Structure 1
Amino acid sequence: MSILVNLVGIALIALIVWWFWLYRPGTATQANHGAVAITVEDGVYSPSRVRIKPNETAVLRFLRKDPSPCAAMVIFDGLDISEELPVGKPKEISLKVAEAGTYAFTCQMKMYRGELVVAENQEMNHER
């Protein structure tokens, strides 16, 4: 029985390490004219990676389906943007970022995580 408890503990530690330090969002969704719909549900933003061009206005439309208090806010690191997300109602966030780079967006506890990639088309094509 103690071996089983130890194995479960090790598995949980591995999951925590992966979630907080090793996980990388997958393929980015390109923001063209119009809004990018992002669903907030089951501990993730979907899509979790959005690409925009520098100096172009983009609209991110968040739809929070998760009533968890952790999902109540979205914070964009480095952009001084913090918005409350109501449950079941879309929340549009309009952004225009001048500096190319990758900007994280998270919940206030940093459990929900996403990336806003700001780059020209050629730079976007060379991403991993």
Structure 2
Amino acid sequence: MSILVNIVGLGLIALIVWWFWLYRPTAAAQSNSGAVSITVDDGVYSPSRVSVKSNQPVVLRFMRKDPSPCAAMVIFDDLNISEELPVGKPKEISLKVEKPGTYAFTCQMKMYRGELVVEG
């Protein structure tokens, strides 16, 4: 019995390590029209990866469907942006990023995670 408990414990540790440190978003959207809709639901941003051109204005339209407190905010640490997301109402965030790179966006607890990829 104790071997089974140890195996389950190790499996849970591996899952936690993967989720918080090894997971990379795969769903992607490109902004051709200047606007991207992102759904916040069930612990994820969908799409979780958004590609935009540098020096081009873009609007990220977040639609929060998840009522959990963790989903209440979206934070772009590297861009100094922090916005509240109301449940059931779209929240638009206008950006114009000059420097190419990958910018993470997360909830305040960093459980919801996404990437804004700015291409030169």
- TM class, shorter-length: over 0.9
Contact persistence 2:48–2:114 (CA under 8 A): yes
Residue 25 (str. 1) matches residue 25 (str. 2): yes
Q: Could you tell me which amino acid in structure 1 is paired with residue 93 of structure 2?
A: I
In the aligned structure 1, how far is the partner of 2:32 from the partner of 2:77?
A: 22
In the aligned structure 1, how far is the partner of 2:30 from the partner of 2:79?
A: 19
Contact persistence 2:41–2:64 (CA under 8 A): yes
Secondary structure of 1:94's counterpart equals strand
2:38 equivalent in structure 1: 38
2:6 equivalent in structure 1: 6
- Larger mean Cα displacement after TM superposition, 83-92 or 34-43: 34-43
| 1:34–1:55 CA distance, 2 compared to 1 (3 A) | closer
1:56 equivalent in structure 2: 56
In the aligned structure 1, how far is the partner of 2:17 from the partner of 2:68?
A: 22
Q: After the TM superposition, which residues 37-116 of structure 1 pair with which residues of structure 2 at under 5 Å, given as runs?
A: 37-116=37-116
Query: Percent identity, aligned pairs only?
Result: 80
Q: Following TM superposition, by how much is the alpha carbon of 1:27 offset from its aligned partner in structure 2, in angstroms?
A: 4.2
In the aligned structure 1, how far is the partner of 2:3 from the partner of 2:66?
A: 35
TM-score normalised according to structure 1 size: 0.89
Name structure 1 gaps, 5 residues minimum: 121-128
Q: Could you tell me which amino acid in structure 2 is paired with residue 94 of structure 1?
A: S
* Alpha-carbon RMSD: 1.0
Q: Could you tell me which amino acid in structure 1 is paired with residue 41 of structure 2?
A: E
TM-score normalised according to structure 2 size: 0.95
Q: Following TM superposition, by how much is the alpha carbon of 1:105 offset from its aligned partner in structure 2, in angstroms?
A: 0.2
Q: Could you tell me which amino acid in structure 2 is paired with residue 17 of structure 1?
A: V
1:15 equivalent in structure 2: 15
Question: How big is each residue's C-alpha offset from its partner over 1:56-97, in whole Å with a ceiling of 9 and x where there is no partner?
Answer: 110111011111111100001210100000111111111000
Q: Following TM superposition, by how much is the alpha carbon of 1:10 offset from its aligned partner in structure 2, in angstroms?
A: 1.0
